[in-house]
Amino acid sequence: MYPDVWVASLAPSPFQAPCTVPDLLQQPLTVQLFVLLVLSAVVACVAWTVTHEEVFREPREYCVRKSLNARSLITRKFFYLFTCEYCFSHYVAAGVLLGTGYRMLMPDWRGAIVAWFLLVWVANFQMNAFARLRLEIKLDRLEIDEKSEDGGDSR
C-alpha cells in the first residue's frame, strides 16, 4: 500500500536494525527535502513547546532564575539553554539525528553535521513563522475586541 520510500527515508539509527532497502540519499531530492521538513517540524515543535508554552512555565521560570543568578558561568549558560528556542533547537536537533540516523547529502559524519545545521535552520524558520502567525492572530483579536467595545460603530 505504501511505497518503500517511507521505510527507507531514514538511515539506520543505533536503535534499529539496518534496513535492506535503499537509504535516503538514494531517494529523489524531493523525498529528502520532505523528510528534512518533517524532522525540522519535530525539532521546532519540541523547542517551541519547552521554551514558550504554558505547560513548561514553572521549569522555564526556574531556569530563567538560575540563568540570571547562578554563580558559575557554566551553570548560567546551561540553564539559559532551556529559555532560548534557538539554543535549545540545536540540542533537540542533535537528539533527532541520534534517534533517526538522518543524513543529508553525504552518508558519513559530514552528512550528519550538514543535517544538524539544516534541521536547526529550517526549524527556526518554522518557529519564526509560527511566532508571526500567533502575533497576527493576537492583533486581529485585539482589533475585534476594540470594535466590539465601540459598539460596532466604525465611522
Q: Tens digit of pLDDT for each residue in 77-112?
A: 899 888 888 989 999 999 999 999 888 888 888 989
**Which amino acid belongs to residue 139?**
L
Domain boundaries, the chain: 24-124
pLDDT at residue 12, rounded to an integer: 54
pTM greater than the 0.75 cutoff = no
At residue 63, does pLDDT exceed 70?
yes
Q: Between these two residues, 81 and 15, which has the higher pLDDT value? A: 81
- Distance, CA of 12 to chain centre: 21
CA angle 8, 14, 16 (to 5 degrees): 50
pLDDT at residue 113, rounded to an integer: 94
